[in-house]
């Protein structure tokens, strides 16, 4: 039981029970506080314990609440892919607004609110849209992850029968000869360059598993060509190109001469690095670090 006494100087003294003093490890001269709870009761705490509790509560409040990762909707993914057709430095608010319909602009607001897309200031002073790395890695073609390239050359080419009485569908597992050739080139050179969207779609289908596993990356460049690259080729040569560019501006011809990599191979690597914001094309075929 707690007893209260009045001193000659008219002050009140609280007499705490011995068991409470021992359990709280109180000693003469220490300060305690009486804290009122929501139910009207009080609890006694050492002042240093009060400070520690307040600090821990403040630190906890500053930590962002953990939440389950969000998944973009189909309409959001469609807008993300549309943005992704623009080179990083070309994704200004003005350019993207021209690219999107009115409905897609509403979807863009949702992407910004969810932090799937963020706005950054470029060196030129423009605000540019940047797709978050998590979304980029998991929902856009070139950054999905890897293990082995399918053995497409083993597939047999299908030939249409000469009879025009009926049209027979290609057998399951059929891969067109042109796709086999492109995959063979990719395995040999480490990259391929495609001229049309239909070619890119066909190759993407043939390499679906490798793209899904992240062994194969790809991007559509500002010159409207599609560059498909093996991740191993990218990881082997990308750091070397970044080192060669250094603090200056390097042309693809010079980089090709220094590395022995074909100029289109240099472009393939640099366009992918440009998409991730690591380099920037200052003028045609001339790149600098961002």
User: What total number of domains does the chain contain?
Assistant: 3
pLDDT at 14: 75
- The verdict on 227 and 192 lying in the same domain is yes
At 244-259, the pLDDT tens digits run 999 899 999 999 999 9
User: Average pLDDT, stretch 273-282?
Assistant: 86
Please tell me the distance from the alpha carbon of residue 136 to that of residue 214, in angstroms, as a whole number.
12
Q: Are residues 108 and 204 in the same domain?
A: no
Give a yes or no: residue 169 inside a domain: no
Q: What per-residue confidence (pLDDT) applies to 126? A: 79
* Rounded Cα–Cα distance for residues 4 and 14 (Å): 5
| pLDDT of 181 strictly over 50 | yes
Same domain, 150 and 242: yes
**Whether the predicted pLDDT of 24 surpasses 70:** yes
Average pLDDT over residues 105-118: 89
Asked whether residue 64 is assigned to any structural domain, the reply reads no
Are 149 and 273 contained in the same domain?
Answer: yes
Is residue 237 assigned to a domain?
yes
Reported as a single tens digit per residue, the pLDDT across 117-158 is 888 877 677 788 888 877 777 776 544 333 333 444 444 443
pLDDT above 80 for 5: no
Question: What CATH number corresponds to the domain at position 250?
Answer: 1.10.10.10
- Answer whether residue 256 is part of any domain: yes
> What confidence category does residue 161 fall into, taking pLDDT thresholds of 50, 70 and 90?
very low
Could you read off the pLDDT of 30-39 as tens digits, one per residue?
677 777 766 6
pTM: 0.43
In a domain, 61, yes or no: no
Does the residue 162 lie in any domain? no
Q: At 115, is the pLDDT very low, low, confident or very high (cuts 50, 70, 90)?
A: confident
Q: How confident is the model at residue 52 (pLDDT cuts 50, 70, 90)?
A: low
**CATH number for the domain including 15?**
2.10.260
Q: Give residue-wise pLDDT tens across range 261-276.
A: 999 999 999 998 888 7
pLDDT at position 139: 75
Shared domain check, 204 and 251: yes
Mean pLDDT, the chain, as a whole number?
A: 76
Tell whether 166 is covered by a domain.
no
Q: Print the domain residue range for 196.
A: 142-156+174-289
d(CA 150, CA 125): 44
């Amino acid at each position: 039981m707690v007893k209260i006494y009045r001193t000659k100087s008219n002050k009140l003294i609280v007499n705490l029970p011995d068991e409470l003093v021992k359990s709280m490890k109180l000693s003469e001269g220490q300060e305690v506080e009486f804290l009122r709870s929501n139910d009207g009761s009080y609890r006694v705490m050492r002042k240093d314990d009060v400070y520690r509790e307040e600090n821990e509560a403040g630190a906890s409040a500053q930590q962002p609440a953990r939440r389950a990762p969000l998944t973009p909707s189909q309409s959001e993914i469609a807008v993300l892919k549309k943005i992704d057709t623009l080179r990083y430095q070309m994704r200004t608010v003005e350019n993207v607004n021209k690219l999107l319909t009115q409905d897609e602009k509403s979807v863009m607001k949702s992407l910004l609110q969810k932090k799937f897309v963020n706005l950054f200031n470029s060196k030129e002073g423009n605000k540019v849209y940047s797709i978050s790395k998590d979304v980029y890695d998991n929902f856009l073609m070139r950054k999905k992850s890897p293990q082995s390239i399918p053995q497409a050359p083993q597939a047999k080419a299908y030939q249409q029968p000469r009879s025009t009485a009926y049209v027979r569908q290609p057998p399951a597992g059929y891969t067109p000869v042109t796709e086999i050739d492109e995959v063979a080139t990719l395995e040999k050179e480490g990259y391929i360059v495609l001229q049309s969207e239909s070619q890119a779609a066909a190759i993407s289908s043939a390499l679906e598993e490798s793209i899904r596993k992240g062994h194969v990356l790809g991007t559509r460049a500002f010159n409207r060509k599609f560059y498909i690259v093996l991740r191993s080729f990218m990881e082997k040569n990308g750091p070397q190109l970044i080192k060669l560019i250094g603090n200056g501006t390097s042309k693809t011809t010079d980089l090709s001469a220094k590395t022995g990599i074909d100029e289109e191979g240099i472009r393939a690597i640099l366009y992918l690095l440009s998409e991730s914001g690591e380099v920037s094309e200052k003028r045609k075929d001339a790149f600098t670090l961002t």
